[in-house]
Amino acid sequence: MGLWVFLQFSSTIKNNMLAVIDTLSRKMKKEWDAQMEKHLTSTIGVLSLSAKHDNLSMWSHYASNHSGLVIAVDETAAIFHESLSDKDELRHLRQVVYSKHKPSLTLQTASGVEFLLRKSVEWEHEDEWRIIKTLDSANAVGLAISPTGGLVDSDVRLFTLPASAIQGVVLGARMAAIYRERLQNSLTG
């Protein structure tokens, strides 16, 4: 069975060991968080929607300072309600929860989706809803618009939005005439 050595630690040795354990714990948590973020961003996609189409701040931040557009969708459309079961955290619309206090969620006490559905009250003006899907369920990998307005290859994942789910389109006040004309032609023709 072997022999065992019993040691009594002085308070200095004990404190040093606790400091080492604390440092290792913080480093491991930081690495864990980084790995989880990398995993989530490479496997999960989030579509963010707003209940408000006329919020000037939203137009400034998310529609290229009023040069983009807003698509009105029917939130009752089947595409927004594709849960596989009552416990399914993905594939259906969920309202974002705004809180004054940062939640003390851990991976042991909360689902991964809960991390994606909470924001500070500073963002409450967005009145945001989200649908979370796995990126491998995307219909295509698409192109993105560069800061200069051109199209560039991208790893953006595209999901089909049935025409029946679209209720309207609002063009930004500063949309370039060429884009406005193209959109109007495609929407009417």
Contact (CB, 8 A) for 138 and 55: no
Query: Mean pLDDT across the stretch 28-51?
Result: 81
Listed in sequence order, the residues at least 6 apart from 129 whose beta carbon sits closer than 8 Å to its beta carbon are 48, 49, 50, 51, 75, 93, 94, 95, 96
Report phi then psi at 71, rounded to 5. Answer: -105, 125
User: What pLDDT, on the 0 to 100 scale, is given for residue 125?
Assistant: 92
Q: What is the mean pLDDT of the chain?
A: 82
Q: What are the contacts of 152-158 at 24+ separation with CB within 8 A?
A: 157/45
**Does residue 93 have a pLDDT over 90?**
yes
**Does residue 63 have a pLDDT over 80?**
yes
**Does residue 9 have a pLDDT over 90?**
no
User: What pLDDT, on the 0 to 100 scale, is given for residue 109?
Assistant: 63
**Does residue 124 have a pLDDT over 90?**
yes
Query: Mean pLDDT across the stretch 11-37?
Result: 76
User: What pLDDT, on the 0 to 100 scale, is given for residue 78?
Assistant: 93
Query: Mean pLDDT across the stretch 104-119?
Result: 69
Which of 112 and 41 is assigned the larger pLDDT? Answer: 41
Which of 105 and 150 is assigned the larger pLDDT? Answer: 150
Which of 145 and 140 is assigned the larger pLDDT? Answer: 140
User: What pLDDT, on the 0 to 100 scale, is given for residue 151?
Assistant: 72
Report the C-alpha gap between 38 and 24 in whole angstroms: 21
**Does residue 77 have a pLDDT over 90?**
yes
Global model pTM greater than 0.85:
no
Nearest to 84 by CA among 142, 134, 30, 18: 134
Instruction: Average the pLDDT over each of 18-27, 131-140, 170-179 and give the range with the smallest value.
Output: 18-27
Report the C-alpha gap between 122 and 100 in whole angstroms: 8
User: What pLDDT, on the 0 to 100 scale, is given for residue 150?
Assistant: 72
With bands split at pLDDT 50, 70 and 90, how would you rate the model's confidence at 39? confident
Report the C-alpha gap between 91 and 81 in whole angstroms: 6
Query: Mean pLDDT across the stretch 141-152?
Result: 72
